[in-house]
Chains A and B, each alone.
Chain A
Amino acid sequence: MGKVPPSLRSAIATTLMKKQSSSLIPKESTTTTPPHNPQHFPRKPTTRKTKSHDSPQTQTQIQTLFKSPNLSDAKKLFNSIISTNPKFPLDLRFHNSLLQSYSSISTVQDSISLLNHMIKSHPSFSPDRSTFHILLSQSCKAPDPSLSSVHQTLNLMLNHGFAPDKVTADIAIRSLCSAGRVDQAVELVKEFSSKHSVPDTYTYNFIIKHLCKARSLSLIDDFIEEMRDNFDLKPDLVTYTILIDNVCNMKNLREATRLVKVLKKEGFKPDCFVYNTIMKGYCMLSNGSEAIGVYNEMKEEGVEPDLVTYNTLIFGLSKSGRVKEAKKILRVMTEKGHFPDTVTYTSLMNGLCREGDALGALALLEEMEVRGCSPNSCTYSTLLHGLCKARLLEKAKELYGVMKAGDMKLETAAYATFVRALCREGRIAEAYEVFDYAVESKSLTDVAAYSTLESTLKWVKKAKEQGNII
């Protein structure tokens, strides 16, 4: 199996995200997490200071208060709330919650109108930066071919005395990107940079990450150059890691190596994340030797390998048929105090299966459980695939039973191999049952599951006709 096991994939993604502080979404106020990084710009200082005296119940009541996007209905509802006996304290958070609730189901225009209505009818309410951020987020998320409603919200904010700051920029950019409006996000970044202030590194890296997913390398390079030349905003180590990960995923290791040279020239020293990313790139190309090369370089440079390094290396070596060396790394890993996890074991199993030692891989399953690692659907699928390839169909069937009992999903390759193994042995009814499970568990789409079944049956028929059931 040539894929990166899902748990390894997420390990690399989360290590990148850990470097950037948690994202800011203007949800119900008090749940903002405190920043870890001392340089991090403080967010929503006012709302964090207000203690939560609302029970969570009232919060959810407010959230679903507005049922209809109709503006006049909303106004009436608002009027009735503040005039009847208020069980809610009529503070900023309350108004924000109302606005949040309404804006999630209405248009930007109507939300702005409701806000104005709130201000007029309840003069003690004074909208805060956070109030406008709610509107801003809505205008960014709604599909719109232009930035006009975003500009409208920003102007409204300005008129009330709040100039857009880095937090504003962050909210706007993240919302635009998550709505797929990446080009507009780029436009807005440039606007903010020239009119107000440059976005902070977290926003910058976020948009670069989204550009990597959605646009060409040359466009990204142009953006970076423009931000550097016009606004003195330069890529930092995290940016380089994102770029390196992007080119590695495109299997362009030469470009990755070049980027490392660039970052060194800019005065950065590659850290564990950078090395891990490059190593992963080589592993995806089944280049075990280069992966080991990265590992050695890390050690020479005094960068201590972490769990992800070891897992990546073990995955890569196993994939390249170098299981003995992978096992050596496993020993080193435990000596250094890192505990092998599900990914480690699944990678080793993959390697053993590729060598034809499916029973050895199966034995690791027991060892896993003894060590307290829970096998996941990738583990089971790897084993199932390996057992089928090794013609150990009865064991495969047994394992499949365990998978079903544990509600484990079947991965595509394992499903196909298992169905083929069953059909080859004339166990058609059982193959249909596996098909049923694959569909019911949503392991595959109906189309994929059925197509595999159909083509396998055709293949078996043909083989029989030609007199060769292998």
Chain B
Amino acid sequence: MSERRTRRGTGSDLSRTTAARAAAIAEQLHHECAILLELYRKTENFPADVADGRLVSVPPPSSQLDTRDKLWRLHSALLQCRSLLERAIAKEEEELGGGRKGEYENQRKMVKERLSLLLINTGELLKAADGPAILTPSLEGLELDGPTILFELKLWVYRIFKEVDYWTKMTITTLKGLPSVIVKEPARTTRARRSTRR
């Protein structure tokens, strides 16, 4: 049922709603991230469960969180993912030599760019949900330096990719779970919220 709704959502409404657009981009990112992970595993001969553990730190999920908080949590996580990804790319190019334009590098770049696009949309959603005052998520405490040992570096990069993949999935799930009013009419929802606050 949800799939049907999603597919219907890829119709004309999609282009008109930021949330639906964000969800579509998140799905796209998830698809590209899966390809990237596959490529990386193939390149490094890593098993699927070679690394685990969270690199992104956000408040724990709770059913008590309202839409704005959910969006903020997602946006914060995705921001951290982008920072980590940028750092990982820089580190890889720094350690392993840059300038290569292979399939992996293209896919990595595409994931990074797609993540940026997703962030634009989640930022818009957050902006719509939170009003004019946007709370910028903090990147403090994020482990951006990365390890220096090559294997650990590889694992670190892999974990970053997995984090992107994970939070992309979370984004999809979260956006699909948002109230339809917000998904379709964020601007009107905002105004309604304001009026409610008053």
Genuine A/B complex: no
B residues near A (Cβ < 8 Å) are none
